[in-house]
């Protein structure tokens, strides 16, 4: 694997980021950090989607210009991602000049080659979705099923993209590449949607939608959000219709677009069609994650249950975002919906991160200090002809085997499933300590055996540190420090002898990795 290019959806800036947006960025950051342990060249793109009627209307209601609203809210997304340690390489804004220029060129090229044509049109437009709806998809009351709002009747001249021309090629691609859409169960949904696909409107009359990119040579039309928004994945890395950059040649096609299930149609039908029209290769994978609810209820402004990610950190007084990242990432199996609740958050991170993982490292190192002044002796190292404690070698081998299992989960974007495997090794190591009771061995004077038990666990904690790093980068750095373990190493370089002989740690250098979340704090209602 020589390089890995990963993107998130770009968020609308008509509001501030909430934990649904955060869920996606956390998943993407975890995948990116994991693959940076497998490749030397990682490129992670995120950003904000800033055009369209929704933003125009929100700005008007606030009495500010759309650009002012975009600047204000785009910054909120950047601040939130900083607080969550989202380690992106580039943040694109669709109001960036280079993006707008390239989108105009893409549009012009498609007009010139006959893939885009002008036609008059009457349709039902939902500004929540920023798209025209098919009347058969409305609720019984004629509302948009996602936004429960009556769509606007729009009659205008629009430019249309010949989606129907690419229908067969897309169907073939989906059928021949079963891992194009992840999870696979969503592919059928997309194939069904493809059945009655029509050509799509790709512009809006300027008289109705002012806040958009002008169509070159026809300034009475604004390029409608999806062709603008989707193109970010290539404009950000230097695509140009005539002279694409070296970065573009290196990174395209993208390895994975991480998006929510609600926008799968745009990514697995519209986007491939635009790319085919531009004669560009298709994305390797489109990973559609599920949605996050709050206390099992859909997040909505009207219910007042929208939670911002930074307020969770603040209300639990978390100095680092690691526990929140871990919780969100493990909230649902691949592609399924997840849920956030304060009680569940507390319970899970206390159990997994404080009690099982952090505490295991803490007590093992404390025993090493207590019994051996923090020194790993030659005879503690476990090898085929030096295994006094039954099962130590097997356990270390199992932990190393888990690295491959975790990698395989990541190959399928199974982030929660991979975390479960990692916690599985932690549980086995905890059981190994209980079963072999190093404190009893020490009491009985079986010091080499005692040392072997501790060294086995420390060896396993090195593997855990490397594997948990994408989820909890700060905790992993602290664990690596205490273990004198090189966290920059690639996963392939992990061996069974990460722990070396000699003084490992002193009493003063041992610190708890993660303190339990105080139950009192969870009752604060500051989050809403």
Interface residues toward ligand MSP, by CB under 6 A: 9-12, 20-21, 23-24, 49, 229-230, 232, 259-260, 262-263, 291-292, 299
As measured in angstroms, the least distance from the Cβ of 266 to ligand MSP is: 7
Complex with ligand MSP: residue 260 or 358, whichever CB lies closer = 260
Judge whether 462 counts as a catalytic residue. no
Distance of CA 464 to the CA centre of its chain: 21
Coil, strand or helix at 1: coil
Tell me which residue has its CB nearest to ligand MSP: 260
Catalytic site residue 51? no
Whichever of 23 and 125 has its CB closer to ligand MSP, that residue is 23
Catalytic annotation, pick one of 101, 105, 147, 167: 147
Minimum CB distance to ligand MSP, residue 216 (Å): 21
Q: How far is the CB of 337 from ligand MSP (least distance, A)?
A: 8
From the candidates 51, 99, 126, 527, give the one annotated as an active-site residue. 126
Cα 75 to Cα 13, 57, 252, 299, 306: the distances in Å are 9, 20, 28, 22, 19
Q: Which whole-number Å values give the CA distances from 61 to 13, 65, 80, 304, 329, in the listed order?
A: 14, 10, 24, 19, 36
364 touches 465 (CB < 8 A) = no
H or E stretch at 61? helix 53-62
Catalytic residue among 70, 131, 144, 472: 144
Question: Which residues are CB-contacts of 127 (< 8 A; sequence separation ≥ 6)?
Answer: 52, 53, 54, 57, 149, 152
Could you tell me how many helices (H) and strands (E) the chain has, helices first? 20, 18
| 249 noted as active-site residue | no
Kindly report the length of the chain. Answer: 528
**Cα 67 from Cα 95, distance rounded (Å):** 8
Active site residue 21: yes
> Which one of 21, 100, 285, 409 is the catalytic residue?
21
Instruction: Give the β-pairing of 116-126 and 152-161.
Output: antiparallel
Minimum separation from the CB atom of position 31 to ligand MSP (A): 14
Smallest separation, CB 258 to ligand MSP (Å): 8
Which residue, 16 or 388, has its beta carbon nearer to ligand MSP? 16
Residues 499, 464: contact at Cβ < 8 Å? Answer: no
> SS3 for 4?
strand
Active site residue 334: no
21 vs 527, which CB is nearer to ligand MSP?
21
Active site residue 267: no
**Among residues 235 and 465, whose Cβ is nearest to ligand MSP?**
235
φ, ψ (nearest 5 deg) of residue 273: -65, -45
3-state secondary structure string across 192-232: HHHHCCCCEECEEECCCCCCCEEECCEEEEEECHHHHHHCH
Quote the least distance from Cβ 346 to ligand MSP, whole Å.
21
DSSP notation for 479-501: HHHHHT--TTS-GGG--S--SPS
Among residues 34, 51, 129, 352, the one annotated as catalytic is 129
Please state, in angstroms and rounded to a whole number, the distance separating the CA atoms of residues 487 and 466.
Answer: 6
> Would you give the DSSP letter of residue 321?
S
Minimum Å distance from CB 296 to ligand MSP?
12
DSSP reduced 3-state for 352: helix
**Please, which residue, 78 or 363, has the CB nearer to ligand MSP?**
78
> Please, which residue, 9 or 422, has the CB nearer to ligand MSP?
9
Strands (E), 367-453: 375-376
Query: At 503, is the secondary structure helix, strand, or coil?
Result: strand
Question: Least CB distance from residue 254 to ligand MSP, whole Å?
Answer: 12
Q: Residue 285 catalytic?
A: no
Min dist. Cβ of residue 19 to ligand MSP (A): 7
CB of 300 to ligand MSP, least distance (A): 9
467-483: burial string, b at 16+ Cβ within 10 Å, e else = bbbbbbbbbbebbbebb
Q: Give the nearer residue to ligand MSP in terms of CB position, either 299 or 376.
A: 299
**Cβ-based burial of 76 (10 A; exposed 0-12, middle 13-18, buried ≥19):** middle
Q: Give SS3 for 467.
A: helix
Distance CA 422, CA 416 (A): 10
Residue 126 a catalytic site member = yes
| Nearer CB in complex with ligand MSP: 132/475 | 132
Q: Which is nearer to ligand MSP, 230 or 382 (CB)?
A: 230
Query: Hey, which residues are catalytic here?
Result: 18, 21, 126, 129, 144, 147, 298, 301
């Amino acid at each position: 694997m020589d390089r890995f290019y990963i993107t998130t959806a770009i968020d609308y800036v008509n509001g501030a980021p909430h934990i649904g947006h955060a869920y996606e960025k956390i998943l993407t950051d975890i995948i990116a950090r994991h693959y940076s342990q497998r490749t030397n060249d990682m490129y992670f793109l995120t950003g904000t989607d800033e055009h369209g009627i929704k933003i125009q209307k929100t700005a008007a209601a606030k009495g500010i210009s759309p650009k002012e609203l975009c600047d204000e809210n785009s910054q909120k997304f950047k601040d939130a991602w900083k607080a969550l340690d989202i380690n992106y390489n580039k943040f694109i804004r669709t109001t960036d000049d280079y993006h707008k220029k390239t989108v105009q060129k893409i549009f012009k090229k498609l007009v010139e080659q006959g893939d885009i044509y002008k036609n008059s049109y009457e349709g039902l437009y939902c500004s929540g979705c920023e798209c025209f709806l098919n009347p058969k998809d409305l609720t019984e009351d004629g509302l948009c099923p996602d936004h429960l709002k009556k769509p606007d009747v729009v009659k205008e001249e629009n430019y249309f993209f010949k989606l129907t021309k690419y229908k067969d090629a897309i169907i073939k691609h989906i059928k021949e590449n079963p891992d194009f859409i992840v999870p696979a169960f969503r592919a059928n949904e997309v194939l069904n949607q493809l059945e009655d696909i029509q050509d799509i409107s790709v512009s809006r009359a300027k008289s109705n939608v002012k806040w958009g990119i002008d169509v070159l040579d026809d300034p009475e039309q604004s390029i409608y959000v999806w062709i603008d928004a989707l193109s970010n994945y290539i404009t950000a890395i230097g695509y140009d219709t005539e002279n694409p950059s070296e970065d573009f040649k290196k990174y395209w096609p993208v390895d994975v677009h991480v998006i929510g299930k609600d926008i799968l149609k745009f990514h697995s039908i519209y986007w491939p069609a635009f790319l085919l029209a531009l004669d560009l290769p298709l994305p390797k994978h489109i990973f559609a994650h599920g949605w996050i609810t709050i206390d099992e209820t859909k997040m909505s402004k009207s219910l007042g249950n929208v939670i911002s990610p930074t307020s969770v950190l603040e209300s639990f007084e978390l100095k680092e975002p690691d526990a929140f990242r871990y919780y969100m990432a493990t909230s649902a199996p691949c592609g399924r919906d997840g849920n956030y609740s304060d009680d569940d958050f507390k319970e899970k991170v206390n159990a997994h991160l404080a009690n099982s993982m952090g505490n295991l490292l803490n007590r093992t190192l404390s025993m090493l200090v207590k019994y051996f002044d923090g020194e790993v002796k030659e005879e503690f190292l476990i090898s085929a002809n030096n295994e006094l404690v039954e099962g130590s070698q097997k356990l270390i081998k199992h932990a190393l085997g888990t690295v491959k299992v975790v990698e395989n989960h990541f190959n399928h974007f199974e982030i929660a499933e991979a975390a479960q495997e990692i916690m599985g090794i932690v549980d086995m190591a905890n059981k190994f300590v209980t079963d072999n009771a190093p404190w009893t061995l020490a009491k009985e004077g079986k010091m080499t055996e005692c040392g072997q038990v501790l060294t086995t666990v420390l060896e396993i904690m090195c593997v855990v540190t490397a594997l948990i790093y994408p989820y909890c980068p700060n905790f992993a750095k602290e664990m690596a420090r205490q273990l004198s373990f090189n966290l920059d190493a690639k996963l392939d370089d992990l061996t069974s002898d990460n722990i070396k002989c000699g003084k490992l740690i002193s009493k003063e250098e041992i610190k708890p990795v993660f303190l339990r979340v105080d139950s009192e704090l969870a009752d604060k209602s500051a989050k809403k």
